[in-house]
Structure 1
Amino acid sequence: MSSPFRRLDESDARCIEIQVDGRSVRAREGESVAAALLAAGLRDFRTTPISGAPRAPYCMMGVCFECLVEINGVPNRQSCRIPVEKGMQIRRQHGTGQDYR
């Protein structure tokens, strides 16, 4: 999947595999979940509870809560504040975190 986001440093950093919505995604060790998802071409991370409008990271520092995802079975995690880990299971979140895509 092509992404308008790219990493500033394209060096050979150590890569790991994470699972996003059931598919394998390569991420760089030490980067945030949000950065890994954006680099993989994902544009929407969650939907709003009322209208179902798609939302994406905005501040990338934990203030706005637009980047909420389910990580390893726990909903409402701020993806911009959590570093990726090998084998991490991530699901984009629908609404309040009770119903998923």
Structure 2
Amino acid sequence: MFTKVTSGEVQTITIQFEGETLVVRKGLNVAAALLEAGVKQFRETPVSGQARTPFCMMGVCFDCLLIIDGMHNQQSCMIEVAEGMKIERQLGMATIEFNASAEQGL
């Protein structure tokens, strides 16, 4: 699933973070790639607005949530970077549309 880098050979891909182009190592998860690129804040908590950054790097803490390719609440430590990926910080709480008729089976 992930690419192993050997003998000094480094494969890179290009992603967008907050509109800025970043060249990152292929095979990393999104959180690791952004941390390696120097990103220190990934999101803000919806309650206090405090800045958060990845903590556990194994999908348990949810401090690495980002908007990836338009989808909110993505655990960046669990997703491999892909060429052209568009990533944004998640600030505050994501809104979720609720369709009452779909819930009732109408």
Q: TM-score range by the shorter chain?
A: 0.7 to 0.9
Deviations 1:2-42 (A, max 9, x none): xxxxxxx8x33100000000000111111000001001101
Q: Unmatched 5+ residue regions in structure 1? A: 1-8
Q: 1:86 aligns with which of 59, 83, 102?
A: 83
1:31 equivalenced with 2:31 (yes/no): no
Choose from 51, 55, 58 the match for 2:52. 55
List, as ranges, runs of 4+ consecutive aligned residues in structure 1 with deviation greater than 4 Å: none
**RMSD (Å) for aligned C-alpha atoms:** 1.5
The answer on whether the counterparts of 1:70 and 1:97 sit within 8 Å (CA) in structure 2 is no
Render the CA deviation track for 1:42-91: whole Å, top value 9, x for unaligned. Answer: 11100000111000000001011000000000000000000000000000
Task: Work out the CA distance in 2 between the residues paired with 1:79 and 1:72.
Answer: 12
Aligned-partner SS, 2:33: helix
Confirm or deny that 1:43 pairs with 2:40. yes
Alignment correspondent of 2:64? 67
Secondary structure of the residue that 1:80 maps to in structure 2? helix
- Identity, in percent, stands at 51
Note the C-alpha offset of 1:97: 2.5
Which has the greater radius of gyration? Answer: 2
Question: TM-score normalized by structure 2?
Answer: 0.80
Q: How many residues in Structure 1 have an aligned counterpart in Structure 2?
A: 90
In the other structure, the counterpart of 2:99 is none
